[in-house]
Amino acid sequence: MSIDATTQLVTLLGHPVEHSFSPRLHNAAFRAQGVNAAYVATPVRPAALDAAVAGLRALQFLGANVTTPHKEAVLPLLDAVTDRARAVGAVNTIVRDEDTDRLRGDNTDIEGFLQPLDEAAGGALNGASMLVFGAGGAARAVVYGLLTHYDPDRLTIVARRPEQAEGLAADLAEHAPSDALRVSSFEEATLSVRTSRLIVNATPLGMAPDRRGQTPWPNPVDFSADHVVYDLVYTPEETRLLRDAAAEGATPIGGLDMLVEQAAAAYRQWTDRDMPRDAVYEALRSGKQ
């Protein structure tokens, strides 16, 4: 990659950011298409978020991604926010208007989550029963996407902290069919797991290195060929949850595809180009920066 006086910059705002794959995948895409841009990850402590967002304007960045812990806190610092980001209450992508320097926030996690699911299951999930493990930021995007895209007859949110799940359900109730949203503890979720067509892991359980080998549901006998099991964890590509589900005949979907698709949606907004996915997957799997 050649850096010169016309190179435009994109950054990741978060804390910490050292683990992020975003520089690897976006720089691979820029390189493959000859886009004169570079992507860097910048650790930003919460107290410095205002200054960091102002810096995007001042330094005329193409835009930015936003990750933990800033996805919610960044909303009031932007000039405009898309309807889907407002509904979820979180922004993961910022785009700077080159004429006005106005900053617009979006949430491409929703699009990134739905794309692989549509390809794997398509219309078979319309009106189906669904279950989501987790009630954090990732789960918010997942639940909103499922409610607005598939109109499920039942969507159960399973969380270790019931108050967090209740809050998520209350926040998104206006997007749900009548009585579709339910809340459950892990201890009481067995029947919901068995009777849900789609199971989504939106927790970090299974993520390498610290949680590798862990799973949100250690009872694989509750899975069957009727299940689609989607794990948002992307490293390793095949988690224990996905191995267990596939062994019972379920359709597994890994988190690497969501990672790439949410990035592709942001890349399109920054460059007006479709991301070269083959080059991105090659870079991710080879470890090439």
Q: What is the pLDDT of residue 123?
A: 84
Give the three-class secondary structure for 257.
Answer: helix
- Taking the CA atoms of the chain, what radius of gyration do you get in angstroms? 19
Residue 3 located in a structural domain: no
Helices and strands in the chain: count of H runs, count of E runs: 10, 12
288 pLDDT above the threshold of 70: no
82-99: average pLDDT: 96
Q: What is the pLDDT of residue 287?
A: 72
118 and 204 fall within a common domain = yes
Q: What is the pLDDT of residue 31?
A: 97
Q: Using the Cα atoms of residue 28, residue 31, residue 34 and residue 37 in order, give the sign of their dihedral.
A: positive
Q: What is the pLDDT of residue 242?
A: 98
288 included as an active-site residue? no
Q: What is the pLDDT of residue 48?
A: 98
Q: What is the pLDDT of residues 126-167, one digit of tens each?
A: 999 999 999 988 999 999 999 999 999 999 999 999 899 999
The one catalytic residue in 71, 96, 104, 154 is 71
pTM for the model: 0.93
115 and 197 fall within a common domain = yes
Whole domain around residue 103: which residue ranges?
8-107+259-286
Q: Identify any residues that bridge with 229 across adjacent strands, giving them in sequence order.
A: 199, 252
13 and 102 fall within a common domain = yes
103 pLDDT above the threshold of 70: yes
100 and 235 fall within a common domain = no
Q: How many CB atoms lie within 10 A of CB 98?
A: 10
258-272: average pLDDT: 98
Distance separating alpha carbons of residues 20 and 24, to the nearest angstrom? 8
- How many folded domains does the chain comprise? 2
Q: What is the pLDDT of residue 29?
A: 98
62-88: average pLDDT: 96
Residue 2 located in a structural domain: no
Percent of the chain with pLDDT over 70: 99
Write the Ramachandran bin of 89: left for phi over 0, alpha for psi from -120 to 50, otherwise beta. left
